[in-house]
Structure 1
Amino acid sequence: MKTASKGSLRTTLPMRKRRMAMVQTAPAHAQRFAVNHFNQKRDRRRHFRVRISLIGRFMRENKQEYPCKLLNMSPGGAAMMAPIAGEVGEKIIAYYDTLGRLEGTIVRVFEGGFALKLMATSHKREKFTEQLTWLTNRKSLGLPDERRHDRIIPKRVLTNLQLDDGEVRQCRVLDVSLSGASVYMENKPDLGMSVVLGRLRGTVIRHHSEGIGIQFTDIQGPTAIKRIFN
């Protein structure tokens, strides 16, 4: 059986097969390094990134919050600008009005920001894909943002806020929309906590100077909002 020469390998095999042939003839430790390198490159390219500009906030492991701007995102990762970069390996929770909650680990720090590897279920990744497709096509198609809702000042401002541990606190609703509410309260629940505002379930997605911002689990109809808050 004839052994192919380097020249014949170069002319008869595709590039990927030539590389694998070279790996197979290398020492064992070099083979392991090369295979890991190929796998890492493949993993990095598993998701296509979309350039996107959204303003939001993120929380570090020490519970400190900072503003941030999303630069690009894929279902598996994101890059964002921020005044504080954080540290590689640190877990981050970010919130954007259109995308909701992003949770992940910092994998790279660059000047003015950091890159995040997202921690999400397959269902959540599919949802990210749909959201990114919508955001990418919305402007070119001239479509409105269905998640943007006008806020109103409710007539009935005092209500109860139930926390995920069952504790009930009285609060004052500053404004409300079909998708969320801004609530005045001094003792603020943690970001990401599930709550019930009146009879509406939601999640604490923002802390502000007067209290918290809540995103409802489901988009409400105008009739339901009027019935609860007016």
Structure 2
Amino acid sequence: MTHVSGAWPTRLPLAERRCFPRFNIALVGLCSINQGPDAHCASVDLSIAGIAVRTRAAVSIGDAVIASFREFGMAKGRVVRRFEGGFAFALNTVDPYRSRLSQYLGWRVRCLDRPSPETCLDERVVPLNRLLVLTRADGRAHIGRVESVSRSGIVFTSTTRFSLGEAVRVGRYALAADSFSVMISFAAAD
């Protein structure tokens, strides 16, 4: 909103409004400009329309960007704005990675950015035994650390990556991987 001295706040003109909310989330990753060598980068803010990153890589407006972040995977687009120490790029509109970013941001808003336990959809409990063994459909077992458990899912950390929708088993529960090995939602409960 813009403020005019002595007046009520007014709405921004349509051309200056953002279509999607931006989230100030710092993630570390790699980016490649015009299929050049990878350079380290860190996100400044994210939205499903674009990402602003800090990096030492030299860019020009319109350069092709491929960025990779552990939390949600790759993002492809073109540089639309430069600023001191980095740049912003718009994501390709038909890019399948855009939906992964959207799911990550949704998960982040639902689970991590809640100010208090009262705003959670389900009560979250931190178990005493935080060691977790996940078994994939092919029988391979992986170890993780439980962060919290609720009726709707398990939040855990692991060095293993799971594909979206991949079937996994935790104890007697069959689950479907959601949000890239960070959160697993209960698909069926016995």
Q: Normalized against structure 1, the TM-score is what?
A: 0.45
User: Secondary structure in 2 aligned to 1:101?
Assistant: strand
1:50 aligns to what SS in structure 2?
A: coil
Q: CA deviation at 1:87?
A: 1.2
State yes or no: 1:103 paired with 2:76: yes
Structure 1 unaligned residues grouped into runs of 5+: 1-14, 17-37, 151-176, 180-215, 224-230
Q: Do structure 1's residue 112 and structure 2's residue 85 form an aligned pair?
A: yes
Partner of 1:49: helix, strand, or coil? coil
TM alignment of 1:35-184, pairs within 5 A: 40-42=15-17, 45-121=18-94, 125-141=98-114, 144=147, 146=155, 148-150=157-159, 177-179=160-162
Query: TM-score with structure 2 length normalisation?
Result: 0.54
What whole-Å deviation, never above 9, does each CA across 1:138-185 have from its counterpart, x for those lacking one?
3345874957423xxxxxxxxxxxxxxxxxxxxxxxxxx243xxxxxx
Equivalent-residue separation in structure 2 for 1:85 and 1:217 (angstroms): 34
Give the C-alpha shift of residue 219 in structure 1.
Answer: 4.4
In structure 2, what is the Cα distance between the partners aligned to 1:104 and 1:131? 18
The SS at the match of 1:40 is: helix
Report the secondary structure of 1:52's partner residue: coil
Which structure has the greater CA radius of gyration?
1
**What is the CA–CA distance in structure 2 between the aligned matches of 1:70 and 1:98, rounded to whole Å?**
12
Q: CA deviation at 1:135?
A: 1.9
Q: Give the Cα separation in 2 of the matches to 1:116 and 1:49.
A: 13
- How far 1:85 sits from its partner (Å)? 3.7
For the 8 Å contact 1:77–1:118, the answer to whether it is kept is yes
> Aligned residues, how many?
124
Please list the CA deviations of residues 182-217 of structure 1 after superposition, one character each: whole Å capped at 9, or x if unmatched.
xxxxxxxxxxxxxxxxxxxxxxxxxxxxxxxxxx57
Rate the CA distance shift 1:124–1:56 in 2: closer, same or farther, 3 A.
closer
Query: Which structure carries more strand by proportion?
Result: 2
Q: CA RMSD in A?
A: 3.2
**Structure 1 or 2: more helix by fraction:** 1
8 Å CA contact 1:103–1:120 kept in 2: the answer is: no
